Structure 1
Amino acid sequence: MSQDVQRNRLTPSNPQTGSEAYEFGPIAIDAARHRVTRDGRALALPPKTYELLLILVRSDGRALSRHDLMSALWPDTFVEEANLSFQVSTLRKTLGEGAEAWIETVPKLGYRFTPTVRTEPAAVAAATGALPPSPRPPADDRGEDAVQMLVPSRRAARRRLALAVVVLAALGAAVLVWRLAIGRRSAPEGPLVGTAATPLTAYIGTEGSPSFSPDGAQVAFHWNGPQQDNVDVYVKTVGGGEPVRLTSDPEREVAPAWSPDGSRLAFLKVQADQTATDVMVMPALGGTVRRIASVVTFTSAGVLESAGGLLAWSPDSRWIAVGGTIGSEPGIWLIASDGSTRRRLTTDGSLPEWGPAFTSDGRRLAFIRESLISQSGVFVVPLDTEMRPTGPPVKVVEAAPRRVLALAWEPGDRGLVYSVSSHMASSQLRRMRLDAKGAPVPSSGEALLVGDQGTGLDITASGRMVYARRFRDTGFWRLDLTQPGAGFDDSGLPASTLDEHTPDYSPDGSKLAFTSTRSGSEEIWISQADGSHARQMTSMGGPLCSNPRWSPDGRAVVFDSTSRGVRHLYRLDVGTAEVRQLTTGSVRHHQARWSRDGRSIYFGAYSDEGPHSPVEIRRMPADGGPSVRITPGSVAEPSHDGRWLFVARSDDDQTTLWRLRLPDGQPELLRRGIVHESSFAVGRQSVFVVEQGGRPASMIISEIDIATGQRREVAALSKRRWWGLALSPDERYLIVPAINEAGSDLMMVEPVR
């Protein structure tokens, strides 16, 4: 298809069709006046969102690809998919009830506008008060099967382009004058991070944690390889060429960092038992590898592959900074590059700290400090010439209720670029400017025009930036237990191109409650059991909102959320969508399950406020109130006859399933090695669990007989596990969440001069 044909497939507006008007459901659009109403009430749509709406209503119900939509909305401009996702989310929220069904997500493709649209000429609409149709353009005589839209003339397009150039020039001049005016008072200026990203790698699998060579001509990174079977350190030349593999041990080798003198690479090697991580140093071009320290990091082995900037060299290449625990002392540590000595740089110790980054002169160190699950901020500690703190760490970025994933200093140390994300949701790159004293410049926090789904990043002194752009699509797979050997089916279940997890059937089996990030943050959704009519039930705003569970009467759903800081339990009234908080205080609560009579709720609670405090099962009244301790564990669900309580625990890097006889029996071990605390479902005669298969991307579904404790394998699924497991009330179906596709590529951004 030619570029001209592609560009002409979609367009939001046209001088000849500006008199159109449209109507679908309670929504009316008067294109002549750029007016959108719902039941007569005006809706405020941003310009780009309005253009998207016009494209959709003129699409005749055809499925539109993301590429075509982005080409129509941002012609001749590179944008990332998050921009389109944001516009779709904004449009759905503004249109209100029904919009999720009207704008249907087509997995692996894009979107389809489903309602029947009535159109009338604007003159008729004005006279009758009705809303109008436009004449459709003739079909493309070249046989294109795309949506046909009228396109502005080339002359009009050139006029708009010329006007845009003039406006941009004026804005550029204004910015230049402003910079000159404040130049004497601000931090040193340098090149600006650019606004266009191009792929540096596009390999199958996961490439992450990029680090530039000092001259910016090469990038070190980790990759799980062409067969996705081993994570190793690679180096690639910017601009072309194949990657060079530098390590090959079977253990995961991640997070490389290039020394400022260009002679060495440091990286992390996850020990085989995953209890600790070794800090390794090797020549930059390959050679003998030396272990200089072992540290217990604050991130899991899997997170190590997606995070960035876990190691940082001091500017003189003498020290390597890393976050974690050495001995029994947590914090940011400095380790001599030859391994001869080490010392703790931060001594707070009560909260996880990681992701260090030195300024170019070594007089400041930025790092990430976790506060609660998926919540963190960025701190900066001042240093003397001997790399010793001269004052306490100062918070410069408050990301809560979101989490910082990685950070890097801008050229000239005038600010920080960092990746931020809600729990399980999309991430983006943001910038925070700092003044000469290191304090945040008011109102300087802003999102970059690049960096959709960005995680690990690095920036050279010249302003060249590289970042890892992740992607992940998770969903539900259904197993019919009455059809042995039939396998799994993913049709007829809630689906999107983002994350879905922790499903639960309603008591009558007609509906599903589940968690999804399709609105931009984790929220609770409800659909029919066949996946139709999905609607968003909560607007907690992240960062964590998950684990929905139906009450036995089907009128309420209990879930947990960190929207108010601490993770607490909430009750959703399904009929009214009213949300009420059930637990309070500074102790975290999660993973609630109802008693079979609906009078009580079992849940996991941390025994104190510390980040590593034990978790115990507690029970409280269904409407909230004082709770009582039952047993150690994270998740608990009673048997159908109320005689047993099944409890999942996470101990010693494995998850186990236990049972105890109610009301006060002793726990008995049922099964070791289930994949997650939420990955079990209790039936009338048996308990179903998800276990790890023989390969990383595989799961085994097992059934454990409640009476005898005997286990049998039910089915296997060649997918990576995700969170939760749901059993239909008639015990015919199991819904297994899984990762359908995931990985990350490296993106390059050239500086603006």
Structure 2
Amino acid sequence: MAVQYWVGEFFVDLSRNQVTQKEQSQTIAPKALAVLTYLAENQGRVVSYDELFAKVWPDTIVTPNTLQRSIAQLRKVLGQDTNLQSYIKTHAKQGYSLECDVKWHDEAKPETAVATGKDLAIADSSAENEVSNTHVSTETDAADKAQPPRYSFKLIIAVVGIVILAIIGFSYLTPTQSLKLSFGELRSLTATDNKEHSAIYSPDGEYFVFLRYSEEFCNSSNLWAKNIKTQQETQLTKNMGRYGSHSFSKDGKKLVFIKTENCNKPMTQKDCYKLMTLDFEKALAAPQSPNLLMECKNSRITKATWLNNNNIALLQEFANRWKLTSYSIADNKSTVIYELEDGNFVDYDYSATDDLIALTSIHNDGLHYIEIIKPDGQVLSSHPIEYPPEIANFRNIYPNFTPTSELLIFSTGRQLFTLSYDGKITNISLPLDEPMGSPIFHPDGKRALVIKGNWDSDIATISLSQITKSQSAKAQSTQTQADQSLTRENNSDSNPAPIIPVPTILERSTLAEDNAIYQPKGELIAFKSTRFGDNQIWITHGNGAQQLSNFPMDSSINGMNWAADGQSILVNVNNSLTQATLDSSQKSFPFDHRIEQLFHWDSEDNTALLLVRIKGVLKFGEFNLHNSEFRVITDKKVNWALKSEDGRLIYTDQLDRFWQPGPAEDRLIESLESQGSDKRFIIKNNVIYGINEEFQLWSYDLNEDTFETLGNIPNNVDSLTDINQSDILLTLRITAKKEVAELTLRD
């Protein structure tokens, strides 16, 4: 089959996945181009849906939406009115047909292989003119035979000229020449002891609005605004809350955001989500209470964004899949803008200027895509993201629009990249000394807001005896006050303050230390740290730490476990498994899917409990490191999971309830009904240890089915990471230094 052909006035080059018209080339997804090619091969004939599926997606199960998106993309590229269907015609309940002329070019003829559609048209025109001229008269034919050919030299000159013009044109049209961003100054805009987050500019560019978190209540914040000219800060919300990212209405008069609260009667999730609005103009005069628009008790919503049509876009999760929905304030009704039946969304951004939505997603082929759609759901383009060596293949990308046409921007931490609409990534070459988020541009397009800073946490230990003693002391104090209250008429203040043991800090820096675990059959403690800027595995004897790994910049670590012999550590780094030995050698275990969390590693059986994202959907299961087979254990949402020494699996769901597999169905551990939290749990000698939401350490004996509250712990504990015969290891939250900063584009 030829690799080049014409569809009407459009030149199709299969070798480059491009469609060109009047020197304007567009890159098309290979599958969409395969649909067009098969329709072209059957020009004028109605090709059924099943025939297209069999030809383009052989041995693959796909949904009708997949084909519809390909047709929508082709129609967009061909510039046709979908109501007229002038190129690709829909035949209801039958299929599609290509209703235009198709001209094929044989790949074996080099004289017809040209750089662009325009070049090909010129060459075709020259050839046709030459043929017509040589048949004007027999006398001219005879004269031409007797003389050197006049047209050969002219044709050579024309072809050479075309090649030169093509080279010059290519140099100007190459995206890397024009699709570049260069930043100059980086300056801080806020400087407090609190954590600032989620900053955006107002539509008029006079303010930026951000969340300011309290150090005392780390999950609660107030909404603030800062005047860029006067530097005056104004608190916008009257009371603190768990507020999400916010967005301005088109006229800049209102803000919309999501507030998260604990559900009074949780059924499918612990948190309820409320869509709120705030009158920005009134809040500048005095703090306001936000108004409720909509509440979700059985589904999650995130990233509220005000659209130009006055609807509000949301990512809403149903049954472990995200959908892009639109909420109408006027009708108090939500509709689905876009969804993937066999995939999932990662993130989206909205450009009010272009009225476009950019979506990053994972499709059924396991690849990450960038899709550009309209607010009505029309897909304009869909392309796999081409990951460069600097970025791990499974890494999620969270891009924002830029002032440069068809170009997005995102951060991986200490590096910034651009992402084009056709999936190409380019490094901006701006190495940073601390992590920052993806920039959000000012309306003037000359500067951008970023959130930069670091999380600071320490590795600490508390002896079990110290915790149990504090519990005994509290019990004695409670009894004493109870006895004294018998002689008092008013005992409203009789509850004693909890006695909190003081932790011992094992490892600390000004950055994050986390996930400390004891070495089996040894004295070492392994932990992860960002103390030198990047996430690495460290080991310590308690009197100095040593770096064990050397992972690339902006690496992420989500789970690590010692081998039973204490000589190596299995790490989930950059969403893939790596085994690091004490001599710093490494071994990778290939897997075709993104690993979100490593929970547990049985080094003797060489199996691991993992949370894996398959086609964008989270699956909890067991991975065999010998043969790379993955077995799904449950479709429930799993927060944390471990195995006991005798092989019993324990996991918590999204309601922080504890479950244990049974012969017919999973069994709820009722004794732990209200003891779950986000602080994780550990198992030692068939005993579960955990921390409840009251910051109490507890234990549950799996063999005896007995529960015991051991004592109180500090309320800045971020997670419980390990335990031995005498001590527990904890991660203590110290500070989260995040601030709003501004990047300025170079001229």
TM-score, normalised by the number of residues in structure 1: 0.59
User: Please, which of 457, 462, 465 is the counterpart of residue 479 of structure 1?
Assistant: 462
Query: Hey, what's the Cα distance between the residues in 1 that align with 2:225 and 2:356?
Result: 28
Counterpart in the other structure of 2:140: none
* Aligned mate of 1:312, from 305, 308, 314: 305
The alpha-carbon deviation at position 252 of structure 1 amounts to 1.9
Question: Which string of whole-angstrom CA distances, capped at 9 and with x for unpartnered residues, describes residues 543-587 of structure 1?
Answer: 444433333333343343455xxx55x544435734253x85659
Percentage identity across aligned positions? 12
Shift of 1:542: 7.2
Cα drift, residue 224 of structure 1: 2.6
Are the counterparts in 1 of residues 460 and 507 from structure 2 also a CA contact under 8 Å?
A: no
Give the deviation of 1:746 after TM superposition: 0.9
Partner of 1:719: 716
Matched with 1:466 is: 449
Matching residue of 2:242: 252
Counterpart residue number, 2:418 = 432
Name the CA distance, whole Å, in 2 between partners of 1:369 and 1:206.
Answer: 30
1:54-453 aligned at under 5 Å gives the runs 194-225=183-214, 228=217, 230-248=220-238, 251-273=241-263, 275-286=271-282, 289-294=290-295, 310-314=303-307, 316=308, 318-325=310-317, 330-336=322-328, 338-340=330-332, 342-353=334-345, 355-359=347-351, 361-369=353-361, 379-383=370-374, 387-395=376-384, 398=387, 400-401=392-393, 403=395, 406-413=398-405, 415-420=407-412, 427-428=413-414, 430-432=416-418, 434=420, 438-439=421-422, 444-448=426-430, 452-453=434-435
Letter in 1 for 2:354: G
In 2 relative to 1, CA 490–446 (structure 1 residues): closer, same or farther, beyond 3 Å?
Answer: farther
SS at structure 1 position matched to 2:281: coil
Distance in 1 of aligned mates of 2:707 and 2:402? 59
- Cα distance in 1 for partners of 2:216, 2:414 equals 29
Q: What SS does the aligned partner of 1:497 have?
A: coil
TM-aligned CA distance change 1:334 to 1:185, over 3 Å: farther
Aligned pairs, number: 526
Structure 2 unaligned blocks of 5 or more: 1-168, 264-269, 283-287, 471-499
Taking the aligned partners of 1:327 and 1:658, their CA distance within structure 2 comes to: 22
Asked if 1 retains the 8 angstrom alpha-carbon contact of 2:321 and 2:344, the reply is no
Secondary structure of the structure 2 residue equivalent to 1:202: coil
Amino acid at match of 1:636: L
Q: Which amino acid aligns with 1:508?
A: K
Measure how far apart 1:719 and its partner are: 1.0
Residue pair 2:434, 2:533 contacting (<8 A) in 1 also: no
Shift of the alpha carbon at 1:332?
2.2
Q: CA deviation at 1:472?
A: 0.2
The correspondence for 1:735, drawn from 707, 729, 739, is 729
Equivalent residue for 2:641, pick from 635, 660, 680: 635
1:257-311 CA distances to partner (integer Å, 9 max, x unpaired)? 12232222221222433545333333322368554455699989xxx7xxxxx34
**Counterpart for residue 124 of structure 1:** none
Which ranges in structure 1 are unaligned for 5 or more consecutive residues?
1-179, 305-309, 421-426, 694-698
Do 2:438 and 2:450's aligned partners in 1 also have CA atoms closer than 8 Å? yes
CA 1:201 to 1:324, structure 2 compared with 1: closer, same or farther past 3 Å?
Answer: same
Q: In the alignment, what sits opposite 1:703? A: 699
CA deviation after TM superposition for structure 1 residue 475, in Å: 2.1
One-letter code aligned to 1:255: S
Distance 1:522 1:735 in 2: 20
Q: Which has the larger radius of gyration?
A: 2
TM superposition shift of 1:592: 5.5
Alignment deviations for residues 448-506 of structure 1 (CA, whole Å, 9 cap, x no partner) = 46694222642123223212223201221111234445934444x34343333222212
Q: Structure 1 residues 751 and 335 mapped into 2: Cα distance closer, same or farther (>3 Å)?
A: same
SS of the counterpart of 1:285? helix
On the 8 A contact 1:459/1:466 being kept in 2, the answer is yes
Q: Once structures 1 and 2 are overlaid, which stretch shifts more, 735-744 or 228-237?
A: 228-237
Query: TM-score normalised to the size of structure 2?
Result: 0.59
User: For residues 603 and 413 of structure 1, what CA distance do their matches in structure 2 show?
Assistant: 45
**What is the CA–CA distance in structure 1 between the aligned matches of 2:591 and 2:396, rounded to whole Å?**
26
Say if 1:657 and 1:538 are closer, same or farther in 2 by CA, change over 3 A. farther
CA displacement at 1:540 relative to structure 2: 7.4
- Aligned partner of residue 184 in structure 2, secondary structure: coil
Bigger CA drift: 453-462 or 471-480? 453-462
Contact 1:703 1:714 in 2 (8 A): no
Deviation at 1:736, TM superposition (A): 0.9
Name the CA shift for 1:331/1:494 in 2 (closer, same or farther; >3 Å).
Answer: same
Aligned equivalents of 1:296 and 1:660: distance in 2? 29
Closer, same or farther in 2 for the Cα pair 1:216/1:181, shift >3 Å? Answer: farther
Secondary structure in structure 1 of the residue aligned to 2:564: coil
From 577, 584, 606, give the equivalent of 2:585.
577
Quick one: distance in 2 between partners of 1:451 and 1:429?
10
The question of 1:548 aligning with 2:577 is answered no
CA distance in 2, matches of 1:368, 1:254: 20
The offset of 1:388, in angstroms, is: 4.4
Taking only aligned residues, the RMSD between alpha carbons, in angstroms, comes to 4.5
Pair 1:609 & 2:576 matched: no
SS where residue 692 of structure 2 aligns? Answer: strand
Amino acid at match of 2:689: F
What is the CA distance between 1:327 and its match in structure 2?
9.7
Counterpart Cα distance in 2 of 1:451 and 1:612: 34
Contact 1:235–1:243 (CA under 8 A) maintained in structure 2? yes
Question: What letter is aligned with 1:358?
Answer: Y
Change (3 A) 1:260 1:188: farther
Cα distance, 1:331 vs structure 2: 2.4
Q: Does 1:680 align with 2:669?
A: no
Following superposition, the deviation at residue 248 of structure 1 comes to: 3.6
Residues 659 and 668, structure 2, Cα contact 8 Å, conserved in 1: no
**Distance change (3 Å), C-alpha of 1:458 and 1:688:** same
CA contact 2:511–2:530 (8 Å) conserved in 1: yes
Q: Distance in 1 between matches of 2:708 and 2:344?
A: 39
The aligned amino acid for 1:477 is A
Give the Cα separation in 2 of the matches to 1:397 and 1:592: 30
